[in-house]
Amino acid sequence: MDNLLTSVDYVFIAGYFIILMGIAAYLQKRASSSIEDYFIGGRKLPGWLLGISGFSQFVDITGTAVIISFLYMLGPKGMMIELRGGMVIHMAVILLWAGKWHRRSGCITGAEWMIFRFGNGPDGKAARIITAVAMQIFTIGMVIYLAKGVGIFFSTFLPFSPHTCSFVLILIACIYTATSGFYGVVFSDLFQGFIIIAAVFVVSILAIQKTWFSPEFPTLATQISGMQDWVSSIPQWKVQMPEGYENYNLLTLMAMFYLLKAIINGMGGGGEPKYFGARNDRECGTLTFIWTSLVAFRWPLMIGCAILGIYFVNQNIPDTALLADAAAIVKGAFADIGHPQWEATISKIITHPSDYPQLVGQLEALLGPTWSDKLVLTSFHGTINPERILPVVVLNAIPVGLKGLLLIALVSACLSTFDSNVNWAVGFITRDLYQGYLRPQADTKELIRISWIGTFAIGAIGYIAAFTVDNINDIWGWLMMALGTGFFVPSAIKFYWARFNGWGFTAGMAMGIGSAVLQRAFWPGMSEMWQFVLTGSLGLIGSVAGTLLTKPMDQEILKTFYEKTKPFGFWGRFKEGLDPETRKTVSREHFYDIISLPFVLVWHYLILLLPVLLVIGNFKELAAGCILLGVAMAAMYQFWYKKLPKTNLYEA
């Protein structure tokens, strides 16, 4: 560690944690003044601030490492795989209508929203409870994913195991999240967002020096990655992926499934604190526009790391075939080692070589004096481990004095993702389960105490389960394509089908989420495409069957829901009950929302892709993309932005 960081780096890191804890201490009293303040900021925070917070929430170490791994292997075409979640393409639908539809309810949590949609009878309560429980499962999955990635990342730098590294950071995140509530989430995300953007510029400049001024880079990238035309973003139907990633060989087909899943996700999305806490309809749209636009800053950082990783591998591991022999030596020394234990075992060998003199001698004889640099990049399958590219780049390719800044940015990314997701999930525990059914008369102090307990419980369960997974892409793929699909299919139907009732929602959620959990337990090797088909189909079957086999909802509850929310879909007779002027306004709103969607999707994809092409130096595709972006943005301005109301389209 002493060789890694300078005194300047240590000052940066110490200053970061002092400021972060200062923010938490300052906001603790304000966050504790009411349960509404604790979970949604009292509906007083401006949209631009919520948008910046959303950007920080969507940048994390683990996801960054996963995306860098695909960019390293595929170049810009790797973005097609991240249509499943990393490109947050579902935000296009939330920007247009799903966010404002949730805000109009006046609720605090997505589970409380179920009572608004289905009523406070047995079916509404069942929908509320299963939503709260499902959210805990999803958030624990997110913590597993974060803990796994944090452990891999920091064990590269520190003389500790992945378990120890992730434990320390998860503990810090739990303390910060529990102390400051939603105010802490938002204001720390603002602070951390500026740090992340600073790191983006550092890495982008380093990468541009190796692409714009090196005509041989396209050839080098193809040679190291094995991907033909690595610098191009034009889709290919089929690619050849390394061992462990064969599920992505049919690249375009997988991307089509990912896009479909993202749109389904968005159609039921928007039920999170930032939208419940937005001040009006207009800010639901503008905060999402800011949120999505700022996410574009993430991608130059990631393609920059992939580029620096290509140069590192070229300089240090010219013969990658040696890695297969190195993996065989390690497996021979640890006869019972499996894929989930691989990262921890590699970390122990590198950080405590004196404990394994014979093994280290064999590795040094094979890989040379820099054996540890090569071993850290060795996968369980004996190939380059692309998930290690990020820490290796930070360790070896970032100049002295700037490493601390980049490390702080990545820690910031981890904490902002953790605090946003856990604060969201704990709101369900406190508001919907504890206050909703166990202690309706609980005061604010008691509820916040329960929130603390929930925060630490989610952190502990996620941490313990983190080291049972093979790799971070494995758990991320399951979260997005299995669990996420099972969660969002019934969540989407609730807006668009008037006959849909609480029992249908409960059955759909139980079958979707339940099938995802069972698949993970008994068929963990199932491809992501079939995970999507399985959980999506069962979630849809459960939703439809549960609805049609039970009696229709109280029509007055549906009328109240429709008149406040005004969604499109199968709501004909409720829409006919509106006065002619309001009906005309509703039809106009729906028309412009729907016609804007293809343009917003194109805009969304391109604002993330174009910075990648800029850093790579692919100016031909960059110019074509800028023209398409201009057309998409002109249409967005005409069909979406000009139609945004000054505050709310409909007054209560």
Q: Are 307 and 362 in the same domain?
A: no
- Nearest alpha-carbon partner for 81 in 315, 262, 343, 265: 262
Neighbours of 445 (CB within 10 A): 8
Q: What parts of the chain have a pLDDT lower than 50?
A: 1-3
Residue 8 in tokens: 């300047």
Q: Are 204 and 291 in the same domain?
A: yes
Q: Are 474 and 578 in the same domain?
A: yes
CA 308, 312, 316: angle at the middle one, nearest 5? 175
Q: Would residue 395 count as lying in a domain? A: no
Q: Are 309 and 326 in the same domain?
A: no
Q: Are 485 and 519 in the same domain?
A: yes
Q: Would residue 79 count as lying in a domain? A: yes
Residue 42's pLDDT is what?
A: 57
What contacts 178, CB < 8 A, 6 or more positions away? 451, 452, 455, 456
What contacts 322, CB < 8 A, 6 or more positions away? 366, 367, 374
Q: Would residue 389 count as lying in a domain? A: no
Residue 34's pLDDT is what?
A: 60
Q: Are 600 and 634 in the same domain?
A: yes
The number of helices, as runs of H, and strands, as runs of E, in the chain is: 29, 0
Residue 2's pLDDT is what?
A: 39
Q: Would residue 221 count as lying in a domain? A: yes
What contacts 492, CB < 8 A, 6 or more positions away? 264, 265, 267, 268
Q: Are 590 and 568 in contact (CB under 8 A)?
A: yes
Q: Would residue 650 count as lying in a domain? A: no
Domain of 273, CATH number, reads 1.20.1730.10
Q: Which domain holds residue 368?
A: 318-383
Q: Would residue 377 count as lying in a domain? A: yes
Residue 188's pLDDT is what?
A: 67
Distance CA 23, CA 26 (A): 5
- Nearest alpha-carbon partner for 271 in 73, 505, 456: 505
Residue 178's pLDDT is what?
A: 76
DSSP 119-148: -SSHHHHHHHHHHHHHHHHHHHHHHHHHHH
Domain limit, last residue, from 338, 355, 383: 383
Residue 581's pLDDT is what?
A: 93
Residue 554's pLDDT is what?
A: 93
Q: Are 78 and 20 in the same domain?
A: yes
Q: Are 421 and 570 in the same domain?
A: yes
Q: Are 86 and 169 in the same domain?
A: yes
Distances (CA, A) of 219 to 233, 311, 445: 16, 12, 62
Domain limit, last residue, from 326, 352, 383: 383
Q: Would residue 265 count as lying in a domain? A: yes
Alpha helices in 466-501 (DSSP H): 472-478, 484-496
Alpha helices in 523-579 (DSSP H): 528-548, 555-565, 572-576
Give the count of domains, the chain: 2
CA 642, 647, 649: angle at the middle one, nearest 5? 75
Q: Are 623 and 506 in the same domain?
A: yes
Q: Are 67 and 199 in the same domain?
A: yes
Q: Would residue 390 count as lying in a domain? A: no
3-state SS class at 570: strand
Q: Are 458 and 557 in the same domain?
A: yes
Distance CA 285, CA 294 (A): 14
Residue 3's pLDDT is what?
A: 44
Residue 206's pLDDT is what?
A: 93
Domain limit, last residue, from 341, 357, 383: 383
